[in-house]
Amino acid sequence: MRIIAGKFKGNKLHLLKNKNTRPLKDQARESIFNLLIHSNKIFFKLEKSNILDLYSGTGSFGLECLSRSANKVFFIEKENNAVRILKKNISKLNLEKKTNIYVGDVMEAIKSQNLFLFKFDLIFCDPPFKNLNLKNLVGMISDKNLLKKNGILVFHRRENSKDEFPNYLNVIEERIYGKSKIIFARFLSG
């Protein structure tokens, strides 16, 4: 696995080889960034953005954001081995000042009142495929007001997943890449 574009293009990332962590493949990651940057439906500016990377694993998505000039990435991961590799990847790219890591459960992190110092421009959600209740996760993100107005939520799911979302979430785009489904969404203004 490598950084695809930007300041750190070509840098190889350390991986965790176990069944608990499922890295986002280069092709799917590249396609996400192509849509974020070039889609006339999404209208997203990555430069100087603040990113929340939920279920971050070894950090490939968030680190790619930083390579492409994002301002800051907040990683949340509960598996200690993945966190160890994530820290190794951050150190390799010398990005300690542009990252924060919360080690623990995503839902518990979101419940924490003072954990987040700012709202996010983009929230990337890559929960285990067996996690079928994204409705609660989206509800908590909305209740805690973690996403800026017109911010983007990006979900990585199994290609045949039938996820339910709250009716106040507008799915903008959905794409299939191999075994992955990528969903781009935004909260409806209201």
Structure confidence by residue, pLDDT tens digits, 42-59: 888 999 999 999 999 999
- Whether 9 is covered by a domain: the verdict is no
Q: What pTM did the predictor assign? A: 0.93
Segment 91-150, tens digit of pLDDT: 999 999 999 999 999 999 998 867 777 899 999 998 876 776 788 999 999 999 999 999
Alpha-carbon span 92 to 14, nearest angstrom: 9
Summarize the confidence of residues 158-178 as an average pLDDT: 88
Residue in 87, 88, 128, 127 with CA at minimum distance from that of residue 110: 127
Q: Report pLDDT for 115.
A: 74
Q: Report pLDDT for 1.
A: 83
**Looking at the predicted structure, is the pLDDT value of residue 21 above 70?**
no
- Whether 18 is covered by a domain: the verdict is no
Alpha-carbon span 181 to 109, nearest angstrom: 25
- Whether 16 is covered by a domain: the verdict is no
Segment 70-89, tens digit of pLDDT: 999 999 999 999 999 999 99
Q: Report pLDDT for 161.
A: 83
- Whether 7 is covered by a domain: the verdict is no
Tally of structural domains, the chain: 1
Q: Which range of residues forms the domain containing residue 73?
A: 26-187
- Whether 15 is covered by a domain: the verdict is no
> Mind spelling out the 3-state secondary structure of the chain?
CECCCCCCCCCECCCCCCCCCCCCCHHHHHHHHHHHHHCCCCCCCCCCCEEEEECCCCCHHHHHHHHCCCCEEEEEECCHHHHHHHHHHHHHCCCHHHEEEEECCHHHHHHCCCCCCCCEEEEEECCCCCCCCHHHHHHHHHHCCCEEEEEEEEEEEECCCCCCCCCCEEEEEEEEECCEEEEEEEECCC
- Whether 6 is covered by a domain: the verdict is no
Q: Report pLDDT for 62.
A: 96
Q: Report pLDDT for 22.
A: 59
- Whether 65 is covered by a domain: the verdict is yes
- Whether 33 is covered by a domain: the verdict is yes
Q: Report pLDDT for 118.
A: 82
Q: How many CB atoms lie within 10 A of CB 107?
A: 13
Summarize the confidence of residues 139-162 as an average pLDDT: 91
Q: How many CB atoms lie within 10 A of CB 185?
A: 20
CATH of the domain at 80: 3.40.50.150
Q: Report pLDDT for 116.
A: 76
